[in-house]
Structures are given as C-alpha cells and as structure tokens.
Amino acid sequence: MNDGDRVWQQHLLGIEGMSASNIVRVLDTSEVFYEVSRRPIRKVPTLRGKTVVTLFYEASTRTRTSFELAGKRLSADTVNLSVSTSSVSKGETLRDTVLTLQAMHPDIVIIRHAASGAPHFVARNIAASVVNAGDGLHEHPTQALLDAFTMRRAKGRIAGLNVAICGDIAHSRVARSNALLLRTLGANVRFAGPRTLLPAGAETFGAKVFDRIEPALQDADVVMVLRIQRERLGSALLPTLREYARAFGLNKARLALARPDAIVMHPGPMNRGVEIDYDIADFERSMVLNQVEAGVAVRMAVLYLLGADAGQSPVS
Ligand code: CP
C-alpha cells in the first residue's frame, strides 16, 4: 500500500498516489450505483444515519448537485452549506468553519475551494472523511473517476487508449487528475494547447505535449476538451476568444483527424463556439451528458467506500 492508498482509506484528496487497483475498485463499485440510478426507485439504505456536508467555496452545478443526489440516494442526511449565505460571508476563516462543522459530527465533508490544498487542510482538522471536489489548480479527483468510468463504458477499456486533452491545461485541475489516473491505468495521454496555457513541466504528468491541436488529435480514441477558464485568464495569456476558437476550437474538420469512433468529452460547463463547436457539443458521440450521469454513480461509490460500515454491501 502506498501513501495515496493510505489517504484513500479515510479521505479522497486526489488521484496522485492512488493505485490502479483502488481506482478500478471505485469504477467497479460505480457500476452497481449506475444501475441503482436507473431504477424507478433510485434509493438504497446504505448510508442511513450518516451525515454528509457539502462545502463549496466556488461555483458548481454538476459536482455539488451530483454529490447531494448521491448522498440522498444512499439515504444519508445531506446538508449543503452555501458559502454566500453562511458565516463565511461575515469573514469566518476556513479553520473556524471546519471546527464548527466538527462540533456537529459529520461523517463526510465534501469541499471545493479556490486554494490548492484546502481539502488537505480540512482533513487535518476534522474527524470526518474529506472529499476534494476541486481545489484551485491542483486536483478534481471525482471528475477524473467519472471520466474514466464514462470512457470504460464507451470503449470497454482504458489501457492503450489514445486520449487527447485539449485546451487550457495550465489552469485545469481536471487535466491534472485525468492525466494521473489515465497514466496509472495505462492510457496514452496527450496535452494540446497554446504555449501560454501549457504548464511548465507538463511532460512530468507522463503526457505528450503539443502546442497545436491537430497532431494531438491524430488517431485519438478520446478527445477531451477543456473549458477556457475566463475567470483565471489575463489578456497576456490569450489574445482573444475568437483567435483561440480559430486555432484550437474542436470542429468537425479537426475531429475527422481522430479515430472514426472517437468519443468527445467535456467536463462542463462548456463555452460553445469557443473551445467546442455547437454541433460537436451535441453530436452522437458526445459524452457530455453521459459524464453527468456517471457523476452521480461515481460519487455514490465514493461516499459508500468512505462512509459505509465495514463489511456492508453497497445496496443494503
Ligand atoms: N465539471 C465540474 O466540476 O462542473 P461544475 O463546476 O458544474 O461542478
């Protein structure tokens, strides 16, 4: 067992250090909850009596909603702490917020924060299990897990797939977590983006790095398009969105460079007409909504693996 796996016993703070067997365990467990989520009654008693708190310091639609649904479908008591209406807006520190939550004895705390490492800080100051729902430019582990689940369902495997991750790599915790996971499971990862949006040392993720999109798309099985993060970009990094769309936007002509059965993924939210053309976002091999559906199943699996009592089955 390595350090990442030891952390995974109590928390999910990142993909870094997670073993292939533990990643596969999450994906296999997610299959059970994917089936549960398609039943007429989408609820199991697994986490009855457990308390799950979501604490989002940054905006979210998919991650926050799917964690809330995941907790509810597992019968946990789920509480969403909205930062804008909490005492954080009165200046309360993260540490005091965590100590306040600790006094209410939650079982699992899910946190998104603009500061890289914030979930690790919370984990050191609370008895609950902590799940990283996205921290700064660092990691978004459940996004990488749901992306892998979606790829495995669409392609039947992860090992050996050519996965092109395109766009604003430098500001993307999704790219980082995906590269770590995909390399661990034996996929070939390519990063493509303008030089200004490629992080220094991108090769250390085990990815092949391209400053044009076309060579990265050659024979790709999976094309993952990343959002241009307007909120984190200065004009020095990207002249105009129109220029970016012209040089890097995924359109039909570019997608034709990939394998004929290549799937298109995007973690959302999408900037249609910027990093992805309108018709590509909606075409039949776009997995965008499959990713959203997978998100609930994968987050149910994570909550079950962290929160269930020893020996408890996923659905009872
Ligand atoms: N992919 C993702 O994290 O989306 P949200 O910001 O809507 O949660």
pLDDT in tens, 66-77: 999 999 999 999
| 162 beta partners | 188
Distance 65 CA to ligand 1 centre (A): 9
Looking at ligand 1, which residue's alpha carbon is closest to its atom 5? 60
DSSP 102-126: HTT--SEEEEEESSTTHHHHHHHT-
| 198 beta partners | none
What are the tokens at 251?
């359109």
SS3 percent helix, strand, coil of the chain, rounded to 5, is 45, 15, 40
Distance 300 CA to ligand 1 centre (A): 16
Distance 62 CA to ligand 1 centre (A): 5
Q: Does any ligand 1 atom lie closer than 6 A to the CB of residue 178?
A: no
What's this model's pTM, rounded to 2 decimal places?
A: 0.96
pLDDT in tens, 31-43: 999 999 999 999 9
Nearest to 300 by CA among 312, 290, 315: 315
Q: Would you say residue 3 has pLDDT above 60?
A: no
Q: Ligand 1, closest atom to CA 112? A: 8
Distance 296 CA to ligand 1 centre (A): 12
Say what percent of the chain tops pLDDT 90.
84
Q: Would you say residue 178 has pLDDT above 90?
A: yes
Looking at ligand 1, which residue's alpha carbon is closest to its atom 3? 63
Looking at ligand 1, which residue's alpha carbon is closest to its atom 4? 62
Which pLDDT score is estimated for 8? Answer: 74
**Calpha distance 128→193 (Å, rounded):** 39
Ligand 1 site-directed mutation target among 58, 61, 275, most atoms within 8 Å of CB: 61
Based on its alpha-carbon atoms, the radius of gyration of the chain, rounded to whole angstroms, reads 19
Q: Does any ligand 1 atom lie closer than 6 A to the CB of residue 60?
A: yes
Which pLDDT score is estimated for 203? Answer: 81
Distance 261 CA to ligand 1 centre (A): 26
DSSP 249-313: -B-HHHHTTS-TT-EEE--S---BTTTB-HHHHTSTTB-HHHHHHHHHHHHHHHHHHHHSPTT--
Which pLDDT score is estimated for 100? Answer: 95
Average pLDDT over residues 200-204: 81
Ligand 1 site-directed mutation target among 55, 60, 143, most atoms within 8 Å of CB: 60
Q: Does any ligand 1 atom lie closer than 6 A to the CB of residue 62?
A: yes
Q: Does any ligand 1 atom lie closer than 6 A to the CB of residue 89?
A: no
Average pLDDT over residues 212-230: 95
| Contact (Cβ atoms closer than 8 angstroms) between residue 95 and residue 290 | no
Distance 269 CA to ligand 1 centre (A): 6
Which pLDDT score is estimated for 89? Answer: 83
